[in-house]
Chains A and B, each alone.
Chain A
């Protein structure tokens, strides 16, 4: 016994449930949208920071000096010793440089670490290009192992004039338990 009222109610309920399902899907769609947004605006592009840049053959700008500072952190109570070997260096934009970090496994077992880079100021991120980096792949450490880790980088000549100091920071995560490793 369906009255026209009930029929019209059901139709509307169905449409509203669809709207709710759409909102739920939208919540998940925010994940890729967030990456797109970061890519478009050129901020925190996480993928770009963890990706090898093709070395661009360009003459170094010897008239310009940029200070690159190195920092390291170990988040979430990870059991590592992890630090840059030098605190900072002066570089010419356009020239390839190498910096080293050192890491020691204190976990008492074999462990896999993944370093995540970030560059400050935010808008300088896209001008900091790494041709090789220990952050591109997970780093496996056997028990008590200590070793040096390398990053080779070029500061882009197009780095805006106002920026004369960059900070490269790595957070070293324990990813032994993370399925699938990095994206």
Chain B
């Protein structure tokens, strides 16, 4: 895991590649035509940040409406469009593209490859995603408005969508195709392009987590594409996959959806696991504890994700044996996850810790993700789930694993690698402000939602009974605090891209891994000659 003696001379003179013909074209053309993994990675990350802000605005409209009971700002139909689009934008537009962007930037650098294996497919998958979102977001403007069925798109409700229906489904097809191509690219890169001596079990954990995520994507995105295609044929060609009148079953859609949907949540969290596994050793100044166990834990989590899907639909009814199976298989996931949490903690044990912004986010991830994990265990218990189902407790649970889980992981990654990308150190004080405001407000925002859910407040409803007012107000205040804090993040990134103290190749005190052997900013072309690993 510590390829310290890497030959740096191989790329020493590539940093200033302006005049030579390998350099990028100037201006806009560069970004439209580039097949460079670093450029595409940057485009994915910028796209993701844009979507994060857009999805955040939708969330703030939701929280504004829920600040007090009654209907204030939006009508119920538009509220449903907001909850649906917030989810679709955050899942497919913010979190997934951010991890793809990180993979584009970092996987070739971590494994000593010149670029991604399939650069033109890489370009294609980015632009597919871009147009998929143009299509999806334009549904706000069509008669009937955006999809309002919830991101789960359950029939028969989803079939009441207006003109947006086929647009949303084609957008999902496009983003699915984009993710599958991205996944294929990552697998081919990792399998075929590792530097000599970089065996699989020497590969950094971020790359490992992405290799497994990529297989998950290829296994489940097509199932989702199939499911929404069935919706489309039910609607336009009068097939009866989910139409009870024609002999179909709407519950079947829920099975198809969650067969995709559960692995999907791991697609969002596994790269964050990988990121945290990079950061904690760096700032503990110790190698990761139990490297191989970490790899096997990710693989087991990925495997288990295929056999737990029905825990999302306990309340539709299933035999006792089914309930027991899905309860137990769900709880089993806590074992490999526990191994990971233990190993991260053990990595810090007797390490010489320092608390730079990436480490702060990684530690907050460790603590807050575990809270989301524990509420997941509660939801796995069938009788408890009957009470919690479709309440704010579920909303609190999945936001704890997604926001202080995946999103904190991504922010940690940005703070960890930003100097490598831009060549500048960022404003540490501003980053700390961003961290503390984010970490405090995320709890103000989501923790009260546990109480609301336990007290029986339903999700996806714009109004509520007056006894829920206090905690909703607290949650909304948290929401606005959290949202506004992210402006600091944007400002910090812009500032860092424009200038700042020069970053060294190693950036951090105890850098480990190939990405820290190339200069900062990473030159346009790296590892033209394979690095030597000792």
Chain A interface residues toward B at CB < 8 A: 5, 8-9, 12-13, 16-17, 19-28, 30-31, 34, 41, 43-44, 46, 50, 75-76, 114, 116, 122-123, 171, 173-175, 177-183
- Structural contact, B252 and A34, CB atoms closer than 8 A: yes
Q: List 11 A-B contacts (CB under 8 A).
A: A16-B183, A16-B184, A20-B180, A20-B221, A24-B226, A26-B223, A27-B222, A174-B245, A178-B240, A178-B243, A183-B247
- Structural contact, B246 and A16, CB atoms closer than 8 A: no
- Structural contact, A116 and B244, CB atoms closer than 8 A: yes
Near A by CB (< 8 A), chain B positions 158-185 give 180, 183-184
- Structural contact, B238 and A179, CB atoms closer than 8 A: yes
Q: Across the interface, which residues of B come within 8 angstroms of A25, CB to CB?
A: 226
- Tell me, in angstroms, the Cα distance from A174 to B245 when the chains sit together: 7
- Tell me, in angstroms, the Cα distance from A19 to B217 when the chains sit together: 11
- Structural contact, B220 and A123, CB atoms closer than 8 A: no
- Segment from B134-142, B187-195, B382-390, B486-494 that makes contact with A: B187-195
Residue of A5, A20, A171 touching B244 (CB-CB under 8 A): A171
B226 (CB) vs chain A CBs: closest residue: A27
For the complex with contacts A19-B218, A175-B246, A182-B247, 11 further pairs of A-B residues with Cβ separation under 8 Å are A9-B188, A12-B192, A13-B118, A16-B187, A16-B188, A22-B222, A23-B221, A27-B259, A76-B156, A123-B319, A183-B247
- Structural contact, B256 and A13, CB atoms closer than 8 A: no
Instruction: Decide yes or no whether B117 CB sits under 8 A from chain A.
Output: yes
Residue of A17, A20, A43 touching B319 (CB-CB under 8 A): A43
- Structural contact, A9 and B117, CB atoms closer than 8 A: yes
Identify the 5 closest CB pairs spanning chains A and B, nearest first: A27-B226, A173-B245, A183-B247, A24-B222, A23-B222
- Tell me, in angstroms, the Cα distance from A178 to B226 when the chains sit together: 21
- Tell me, in angstroms, the Cα distance from A48 to B223 when the chains sit together: 28
Q: Nearest chain A CB to B34's CB is how many angstroms away?
A: 20
- Tell me, in angstroms, the Cα distance from A16 to B252 when the chains sit together: 27
- Structural contact, B255 and A34, CB atoms closer than 8 A: yes
- Tell me, in angstroms, the Cα distance from A157 to B204 when the chains sit together: 65
- Tell me, in angstroms, the Cα distance from A26 to B227 when the chains sit together: 10
Near A by CB (< 8 A), chain B positions 364-380 give none
- Structural contact, B245 and A178, CB atoms closer than 8 A: yes
- Structural contact, A24 and B187, CB atoms closer than 8 A: no
- Structural contact, A178 and B246, CB atoms closer than 8 A: yes
Q: Nearest chain B CB to A46's CB is how many angstroms away?
A: 6
Q: Nearest chain B CB to A98's CB is how many angstroms away?
A: 25
- Structural contact, B317 and A122, CB atoms closer than 8 A: yes
Q: Nearest chain B CB to A6's CB is how many angstroms away?
A: 9
- Tally chain B residues at the interface, Cβ within 8 Å: 43
- Give B282-322 as 1s and 0s: 1 = Cβ < 8 Å from A's Cβ atoms: 00000000000000000000000000000000000111011
- Tell me, in angstroms, the Cα distance from A25 to B226 when the chains sit together: 8
Chain B interface residues toward A at CB < 8 A: 117-118, 156, 180, 183-184, 187-188, 191-193, 218-227, 230, 237-241, 243-247, 249, 251-252, 255-256, 259, 317-319, 321-322
- Tell me, in angstroms, the Cα distance from A148 to B246 when the chains sit together: 23
Interface of B is mostly: helix
Q: Nearest chain A CB to B386's CB is how many angstroms away?
A: 15
A24 (CB) vs chain B CBs: closest residue: B222
Q: Beyond A12-B188, A12-B191, A180-B246, is A41–B222 a contact (Cβ under 8 Å)? A: no
Q: Nearest chain B CB to A108's CB is how many angstroms away?
A: 20
- Structural contact, B192 and A8, CB atoms closer than 8 A: yes
Residue of A31, A114, A175 touching B241 (CB-CB under 8 A): A31
- Tell me, in angstroms, the Cα distance from A177 to B239 when the chains sit together: 11
A33 (CB) vs chain B CBs: closest residue: B255
Q: Across the interface, which residues of B come within 8 angstroms of A5, CB to CB?
A: 192-193
Q: Across the interface, which residues of B come within 8 angstroms of A181, CB to CB?
A: 246
Q: Across the interface, which residues of B come within 8 angstroms of A31, CB to CB?
A: 230, 241, 252
- Tell me, in angstroms, the Cα distance from A142 to B156 when the chains sit together: 27
Q: Nearest chain B CB to A161's CB is how many angstroms away?
A: 17
Q: Nearest chain A CB to B202's CB is how many angstroms away?
A: 20
Residue of A23, A76, A114, A123 touching B218 (CB-CB under 8 A): A23
- Structural contact, B226 and A28, CB atoms closer than 8 A: yes
- Structural contact, A13 and B223, CB atoms closer than 8 A: no
Q: Nearest chain B CB to A94's CB is how many angstroms away?
A: 26
Q: Nearest chain A CB to B368's CB is how many angstroms away?
A: 33
- Structural contact, A27 and B256, CB atoms closer than 8 A: yes
A181 (CB) vs chain B CBs: closest residue: B246
- Structural contact, B240 and A183, CB atoms closer than 8 A: yes
- Structural contact, A178 and B252, CB atoms closer than 8 A: no
- Tell me, in angstroms, the Cα distance from A24 to B193 when the chains sit together: 28
Q: Across the interface, which residues of B come within 8 angstroms of A27, CB to CB?
A: 222-227, 256, 259
Q: Across the interface, which residues of B come within 8 angstroms of A9, CB to CB?
A: 117-118, 188, 192
Q: Nearest chain A CB to B94's CB is how many angstroms away?
A: 24
Q: Across the interface, which residues of A come within 8 angstroms of B239, CB to CB?
A: 179
Q: Which of A9, A43, A122 gathers the greatest number of chain B CB atoms within 10 Å?
A: A9
- Structural contact, B256 and A30, CB atoms closer than 8 A: yes
Q: Nearest chain A CB to B451's CB is how many angstroms away?
A: 34
Q: Beyond A21-B222, A27-B225, A30-B255, is A122–B319 a contact (Cβ under 8 Å)? A: yes
Q: Across the interface, which residues of A come within 8 angstroms of B183, CB to CB?
A: 16
Q: Nearest chain A CB to B195's CB is how many angstroms away?
A: 13
Q: Nearest chain B CB to A97's CB is how many angstroms away?
A: 26
- Structural contact, A16 and B222, CB atoms closer than 8 A: no
B318 (CB) vs chain A CBs: closest residue: A43
Q: Nearest chain A CB to B264's CB is how many angstroms away?
A: 13
Q: Across the interface, which residues of A come within 8 angstroms of B243, CB to CB?
A: 178
Residue of B188, B226, B252 touching A13 (CB-CB under 8 A): B188
Q: Across the interface, which residues of B come within 8 angstroms of A173, CB to CB?
A: 244-245
- Tell me, in angstroms, the Cα distance from A50 to B244 when the chains sit together: 12
Q: Beyond A12-B192, A13-B188, A183-B247, is A20–B218 a contact (Cβ under 8 Å)? A: yes
Q: Nearest chain B CB to A101's CB is how many angstroms away?
A: 17
Q: Across the interface, which residues of B come within 8 angstroms of A44, CB to CB?
A: 249, 251
- Structural contact, B218 and A16, CB atoms closer than 8 A: yes
A121 (CB) vs chain B CBs: closest residue: B317
